[in-house]
Amino acid sequence: MSQPRDVLARNCPVCGAQLDATPPGRAIVCRYCGHSFQPAPEFNPPQRVIVIGPGTRPLGAPVRRAVGRSIFSGMFSLIVVGVVAFVSMRGRSTSSLVPTIAEMSSTIAIAVPATFLWDTVAGPPIPAAVGGGGVEGFVGRIRSRGGDALWIAAFEGKKLGQVWKVGPFGTHSEGYRSTFAEVVGRDVIVTDYRANLHVVDLATGHETRTLKLTDRAKGMCASPDGKAHVWIEMTDEKNVLFDADAGTSTLSPRPAWCPDSYASSGDDCRGWLKRGDARPGCKGPDVAPKVAGFEAENVIEEGDLAVAFGKKHPGTATPIVVGFDPRTKAVRWQQALASGDQAGVEESSTAVMDALAGGRFVAPYKTSKAFYLTAFDARSGQRVWDVTLQPLIGIDTPEGFSMSATRVYVMRTSSLEVYDAANGALVGSIGD
């Protein structure tokens, strides 16, 4: 199933734009964002499952890699310590200019780089009962820092510790367009670039079954009715419905519960980068009620609740949200998405990333100062919370997000931030 080297990476792994054809052996450069990378050599190690207790560190790499990382980490840590110490000294009186040992050791702990990147190309995580303790965990796709290998990993929700990871599934260039994961019941269904389907136990990460597909997967959806079914879109168009309980697959047309990620036009709640699958609850602007001075861009529904995301029109296109009854179209409330003075609010260009779960509507917005995340009660329109997203060095635009009734997941270039859906408090972040 290998392809010629010049067609391995047809889309940029950073911005998602289509790449120009590149002769074998030459670096690939994205003409949209300028990202440059070298096609990796064939990478076909045997699949492994690594089980990691929550909150513990993975086993060490070979000495030569560890030394290199230690030198880099040490230099990076010293730089960050110096910057933080300088900032701290500026904020304190001249009688206490020397940073304490506690401050330095805390800074060093924060500065140690992660061993993996959150693969935002695959989309936001899948909430799942991982790790126990009654706290929502999640499953998603990550990239290792050394070798850029793709893995599927599970994280518990209390401390965001990695419970297990399974793979590798080739390099990012080899597998990013064909490595998908869905959670159905107590199983995680994974496809790879070698046209294999893997059934993995959600609790342990151990593979329980493998099935050969006719070609690489192009997309995958889990059944929303609680059945252990996933529909898999195949590159050769021999699409199948896989029953994880029976371990069988049958040819099947696209079911109504699986939106077409490729055919989605306009805004579909995923943002302009279109990270992850199209959302079933996201609908087009035509289902929104007509409101004076408001132009809808999309609608998202949950039961008898619906919120239209849009902008002021005519006039300065600042973002506005409208709550309504999806059956009668009766408007329940209307609010500016951003809180405070609207003069510094960026026009509606963060691209319709919104979500509705547990009766809360959440969306990001930007001002001249920072990015924010805000939540409304979807029935009353009352603003529940409004928080500033963590500032990042470099590109800090949210690359996509999703939410459940208890958590909000925001993707930031190569990391994932987890927020409490009830109050907007930052639970923590994973990835580099």
Residue 311's contacts (CB-CB under 8 Å, 6 or more residues apart) are: 294, 295, 297, 317, 318, 319, 320, 347, 348
Considering the entire predicted model, what is its pTM?
0.74
d(CA 269, CA 300): 8
With beta carbons less than 8 A apart as the criterion, state whether 284 and 266 touch. Answer: yes
Q: Average pLDDT of 296-324?
A: 92
Distance between CA atoms of residues 9 and 178, nearest Å:
12
Question: Kind and range of the H or E element at 107?
Answer: helix 101-111
Residues 190, 409: Cα–Cα separation, whole Å:
21
Higher pLDDT, 177 or 349: 177
CB atoms within 10 A of CB 342: 15
Confidence of residue 81 (pLDDT cuts 50, 70, 90): very low
Output 67 or 76, whichever has higher pLDDT. Answer: 76
Given a cut of 90, whether residue 138 has pLDDT beyond it is yes
d(CA 190, CA 185): 14
In this predicted model, what pLDDT tens digit does every residue of 6-43 receive, in sequence order? 333 356 666 566 666 665 556 666 655 555 555 554 44
In terms of Cα–Cα distance, which of 272, 244, 274, 238 is closest to 259? 274
β-strand pairing of 116-118 with 150-155: unpaired
Q: How far apart are CA 240 and CA 402, in angstroms?
A: 27
pLDDT (tens digit per residue) in 148-180: 899 999 999 999 999 999 999 999 999 989 999
pLDDT number for residue 64: 43
- Burial string for 303-333 (b: 16+ CB within 10 Å, else e) reads eebbbbbbbbeeeebbbbbbbbebeeeebbb
The stretch 305-324 carries a mean pLDDT of 93
Contact 229, 244 (CB under 8 A): yes
Q: What is the per-residue pLDDT for 86?
A: 44
Residue 405 has pLDDT above 90, yes or no: yes
DSSP3 helix / strand / coil % (the chain, rounded to 5): 15, 35, 50
Condensed to tens digits (0 to 9), the pLDDT of residues 247-264 reads: 899 999 999 888 887 766
Mean pLDDT of the chain: 79
Predicted confidence (pLDDT) at residue 404 exceeds the cutoff of 70 = yes
In 176-214, which residue ranges form alpha helices assigned H by DSSP?
A: none
Residue 68 or 145, more confident: 145
Q: What is the pLDDT of residue 84?
A: 42
Q: Edge-to-edge strand order for the sheet containing 426-431? A: 400-403, 407-412, 415-420, 426-431
State the pLDDT at residue 125: 94
203, burial (CB in 10 Å: exposed 0-12, middle 13-18, buried 19+): middle
Give mean pLDDT, residues 39-49: 52
Arithmetic mean of pLDDT, 311-334: 94
Cα separation, 254 vs 356, whole angstroms:
25
Q: Which residue has the higher pLDDT, 56 or 304?
A: 304
Which one-letter DSSP state was computed for residue 329? -
